[in-house]
């Protein structure tokens, strides 16, 4: 039988198994020599059923990804894949119908909990990686989601506000 508590616990445990890999990948992004046109870092999560991928984008204040076309090889701009298709929930085939019935009954609550678990996980990994030392404003968001999490100020904000700060 599925419960919100069991589901939450399973998601937390599954993400924790990938924490060290995420910490190492975040550290790499913190050591990049960013092109001077980069105004902020946008770590974006892409969610598929039971999987999460995270990509870091170097952005300007006009909500455009910044690219560097110069000849210096040590300057970074663009995107960087931190993690791809990390499983955060494993569902046996014979339980799929029961799970989706449970999920549909509690979708709003599960969605809020799942979002917070993922943000907390990323935020903790970012801190352990030394994220505070990066000079650029840094945000964690979900693809096509209206809110983002300001990693430097430890608070939620609308996605549009990050372009104004």
β-pair type (147-150, 40-48): unpaired
- Percentage of residues of the chain with pLDDT beyond 70: 99
Q: What band does 159 get if pLDDT is binned at 50, 70 and 90?
A: confident
Q: What is the CA radius of gyration of the chain?
A: 17
3-class state of residue 156 by DSSP: strand
Quote the CA–CA distance of 127 and 114 in Å, as a whole number. Answer: 20
The whole-number pLDDT of residue 129 equals 97
Q: What is the mean pLDDT of residues 90-115?
A: 89
The residue behind tokens 């339980």 is 95
Quote the CA–CA distance of 57 and 69 in Å, as a whole number. Answer: 16
The two three-digit tokens of residue 104, written as one number:
């549909």
Which DSSP state fits 37?
T
Flag whether pLDDT at 1 surpasses 80. no
- Percentage of residues of the chain with pLDDT beyond 90: 78
* 49-102 pLDDT, tens digit each: 889 999 999 999 999 999 999 889 899 999 999 999 999 988 888 888 898 899
* 117-131 pLDDT, tens digit each: 999 999 999 999 999
Q: Strand order in 51-59's β-sheet?
A: 79-87, 51-59, 40-48, 138-142, 147-150, 155-158
């Amino acid at each position: 039988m599925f419960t919100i508590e069991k589901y939450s616990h399973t998601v937390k445990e599954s993400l924790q198994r990938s924490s060290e890999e995420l910490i190492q990948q975040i550290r790499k992004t913190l050591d990049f020599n960013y092109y001077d046109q980069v105004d902020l870092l946008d770590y974006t999560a892409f969610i598929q059923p039971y999987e999460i991928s995270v990509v870091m984008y170097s952005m300007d204040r006009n909500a455009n990804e910044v690219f560097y076309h110069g000849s210096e090889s040590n300057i970074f701009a663009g995107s960087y894949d931190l993690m791809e298709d990390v499983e955060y929930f494993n569902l046996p085939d014979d339980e799929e119908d029961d799970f989706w019935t449970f999920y549909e009954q509690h979708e709003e609550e599960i969605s809020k909990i799942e979002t917070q678990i993922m943000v907390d996980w990323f935020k903790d990994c970012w801190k352990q990686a030394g994220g505070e030392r990066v000079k650029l404003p840094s945000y964690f968001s979900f693809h096509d989601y209206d809110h983002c999490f300001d990693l430097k100020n430890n608070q939620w904000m609308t996605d549009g506000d990050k372009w104004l700060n």
